[in-house]
Structure 1
Amino acid sequence: MAFSAAQKHLFYTEIAKLLEAGFGIREAAATMLDHRLPAAQAGLLREMDRDLEAGQSITEAFAKNRNVISDLERSIVGAGERGGRLAPAFQHLADYFGMLATARRDALQAMIYPLVMLHLGLFISYIPQLFSGAKTGVQVLGEFAVTLFIVYAVVFVAWLGVRAVLASGTSNPTVDAMLNRIPLVGSARRYMAMARFTKVYHTCLLAGLSMQETVETSAQASRSGSIIAASHKMQEVLKERGPLGPVFVSSGAFPAAFARSYATAEESGSLDKDFARWSKVFQDDAARSTKTVSSALPKLFYFLILIFMAYKIISFYSESYLGPIRELEEQYNN
């Protein structure tokens, strides 16, 4: 069973807190198990402890279940383990999932009223038939239920389509660039990708991983087709022992300010400090942009529902009051 973003935020916060206090990973797991964790989290920690006892690495043991632990989490934990900086790695994850949890909570809260209005608007569309006596209450309720089923089916199919397009954007740079051009949604998506990229890159730098592995790991964690395509060029430059700054600037996959900052930090040898700053910047930007999206989309949805309801109300009065007048006019003219 997968954890929600809110559950992962609390889970990783507790692990980071215990590791920062000097606990070993197995001691931290044992301490957390003593405090009535949810079943899924407790099962994950027990399985990790068994695998550690069998001689596996922390990354192998912790991220064994890919249905629960994503590639992003595996990358950050792996880099933190190899560099002996597990506490900051888990804190990175706690901050990231805390941002996701807040964005999802805001989006769900903002959608409650528009969804209520949608159901009300659909029901109102059948009121004229009920008042005119064309259909009974049972017939109206039956047709309303069928309409709701159709609406739910259309929304579900649309959701599957959106998921498929978003999934293709993680590997296809053309689709990724197209999605990033969508107003509001595109900027939120870009900032989220950059937040993932910079967090993993920073963790890899602190862990002392090779630049080849750092580039590959952070690009894959970004889940951005454009960044992954740019990372292939970076690997070619690294094979020739060249600097990466020019690739960051020329690839077009990164914000211009960040790309220029990378180039100067690379020259001055301060990439670790630079990425610490940028990872926070992009996380804050991602949080703001997702909050904007979660606020704007329900308002747009609500506006469309109001238009639909206004149309139905006008149609109702037109049929109820103007209809008989038109019939009288036609009879008079004839």
Structure 2
Amino acid sequence: MKKYSRREASKLMLCASAGTIMSPSLMSYAEDGLKKRKIPSSGELLPIVGLGTWQSFDVGSDQTARARLKEVLTCMKDYGGTCIDSSPMYGSSERVVGDLTKALGMQDHFFYATKVWTSGRQSGIDQMQRSMHNMGRSQMDLMQIHNLIDWKEHIKTLKDWKERKKIRYWGITHYTNSSHETLAKLIQNEKPDFVQFNYSINQRNAEKRLLGTAHDHGVAVIINRPYAGGSLFRKTRGKSLPPWCKEQEINSWGQFFLKYILAHSAVNLVIPGTSKPHHMVDNLKAGIGRLPDKETKAKMVSLLADM
């Protein structure tokens, strides 16, 4: 049994106070550690479960909500998560991330990702500089072109900023199946460090070409909308996991959905959003321990289809 320092124990108790029950099973997962995968363009290791901030971190100055989000970030750090993904599209989320990580003294623990979401070269530069200020960063880990808006213009800026070390990586994003062909072509032609797109157990269009294209061209993959906009939880509400899930180290429907995604070798990172500490821990547990093999994945798809 791992022994914890007083500081570590205090942090774990903070998660518990937020409604996360630190069972022996949960403690063993924390001890085993969150899986990491290499960013192809650099070889840097990145934990495979991160945090999206759309809606969940758009809380402005609400102190009660901010206190809860501090606990989310603390739990994330304690379990080894690092990537926080945001955007100027997400209201106050960038500023809230910057304020809370500073208040917690965790500014240098996380891998910060945000996006440019405007048209025009100078407008993009101005917006990205505001984002960096809001998130408290002198260098952004990852800057992405949000939903491919004015991508031809922004790609030139992002390549220049990477060369000048204002950003470490650059990428492109979208959230619809109809964008996948364009993303695949940009991967081939522009060689971004990262591509972010939608993929879930019941929306598997990315398996046709996009995931393979990213893998073949050495582009790291971030998955958004892993729960298909919440529709997966609505489909499984009130239903129990089958007994065979326990053998696969799947202990919740959330882990069921995330482990299906993470089992694909092209996926570097999945970024479910949450404002609840116990959901943050449950999400992170999907990246700890066993991942399903090809036969198990087929079984998972069949189970969901029969509901």
Range class of TM-score, shorter chain: under 0.3
TM-score by length of 1: 0.21
| Structure (1/2) with the larger helix percentage | 1
Larger radius of gyration: 1
TM-score by length of 2: 0.22
| Structure (1/2) with the larger strand percentage | 2
